[in-house]
Amino acid sequence: MRYIDHHAHMVSRTTDDYQQMALTGCVAVTEPAFWAGWDRSAADGFEDYFRQLTEFEPNRAAQYRIQHYAWMAMNPKESENRELSRKVIERIPKFLGRPTVLGIGEIGLNRVTRNEVATYTEQVELALEHRQLILIHTPHLEDKLKGTRISIDVLRKYSKIQPGRVLVDHAEEHTIEMILEHGYWAGLTLYPNTKVSPQRAADIIEQFGAERICIAGACDWGPSDPIAVPRFIAEMRRRRHPDALIHRIVFENPVQFLSQSPKFKVRADVVNEIAPATVAR
């Protein structure tokens, strides 16, 4: 089954991972800007990273017939440093016009500090100014509920934000209802330890349905799985859910959200090979 991973940190993965993803049906990934595995010391380091996301990775992915898109941001993990954050945010606009950049992300909170909230708020305003899609990171474990609430509170201060153009990622059982009820998209992240398993993701779909929900592996520097989405597909099939429903979650939903950026296009050969009978209505 064809799928799109809307959150994959491919700079941390080998070309073997691209190959494995391609063999299991991945046709496109979008890569949010994030931590490089260590804290960077200067804005020049971020600019080099943004160039890697927009120049090198699309070519590397293309070798395996995977389309690669990116998001630009000062990531939550390093946004505590306000001086550095301001310098990085000043450099983001010049990358927003690049052909594979879909929006601002991932932004949000890590330890839910005042500095992080300030940096997050500035980037929400940047997205509004440049009419960009927004991808939000919510904190791990014990800070998940508090961080999600604060993230949404900030968004709701801006009447010009269209909720359907915001995806709040790393949702879990205790936060997804809050995200969906405000009209945002919710992302379920399949991690072996700190987020949800394919089994928990299937449970959430059974409880909340498939509307405005996307699934991603978010593979990065830590323990993670580049073919997490196919494992979710296998779990849904094991539970005898129809392929039309699964296809909607792993392909149609991300296409619906991401296509709000005119830059996001699924290759014509991919669209043409999907039989109408597999499309959920």
| CA–CA separation, 180 and 168 (whole Å) | 9
- Which tokens belong to 134? 């927004």
pLDDT at residue 173 tops 80: yes
pLDDT digits (tens, 9 = 90+) for 220-230: 988 899 999 99
pLDDT computed for residue 275 by the predictor: 54
Q: Which residue has the tokens 């299991």?
A: 24
For domain 3-278, give the CATH superfamily.
Metal-dependent hydrolases (3.20.20.140)
Q: Report the predicted TM-score, pTM, of the whole model to 2 decimal places.
A: 0.96
- Side chain identity at residue 187, one-letter code: G
- Residue 72's H or E segment, with its range, is strand 67-72
Identify the CA nearest to 168 among candidates 112, 208, 108, 115.
108
- Mean pLDDT, rounded, for 147-156: 98
Give Cα 12 to chain centroid, integer Å.
15
DSSP class of 137: E
Whether 3 and 231 have beta carbons less than 8 Å apart is answered as no
pLDDT at residue 247 tops 90: yes
pLDDT digits (tens, 9 = 90+) for 30-81: 999 999 888 999 999 999 999 999 999 999 999 999 999 999 999 999 999 9
Phi, psi of 24 (to 5 degrees): -100, 10
| CA–CA separation, 150 and 136 (whole Å) | 12
Using DSSP, state whether 29 is helix, strand or coil. Answer: strand
DSSP class of 196: B
Q: How sure is the predictor about 273, in pLDDT bands with cuts at 50, 70 and 90?
A: confident
Q: How sure is the predictor about 280, in pLDDT bands with cuts at 50, 70 and 90?
A: very low
pLDDT cut 90: percent of the chain above it: 90
- Which tokens belong to 72? 């630009």
Residue ranges per domain, the chain? 3-278
119: left (phi over 0), alpha (psi -120 to 50) or beta: alpha
pLDDT at residue 281 tops 80: no
Mean pLDDT of all residues belonging to the chain: 95
Q: Where are the beta strands (DSSP E) in 130-266?
A: 133-137, 166-168, 185-189, 213-216
Judging by DSSP bridges, how do beta strands 133-137 and 166-168 pair with one another? parallel
- Mean pLDDT, rounded, for 107-125: 98
Residues 6+ apart with CB under 8 A from 252: 279, 280
In b/e form, how buried is each residue of 224-250, taking b as 16+ CB within 10 angstroms?
A: bbbbbbbbbbbbbeeeebeeeebbbbb
76-85, 104-113, 188-197: least confident range? 188-197
pLDDT computed for residue 147 by the predictor: 97
Most confident of 96-110, 180-194, 264-278: 96-110
Dihedral sign from CA coordinates of 281, 230, 260, 275: negative
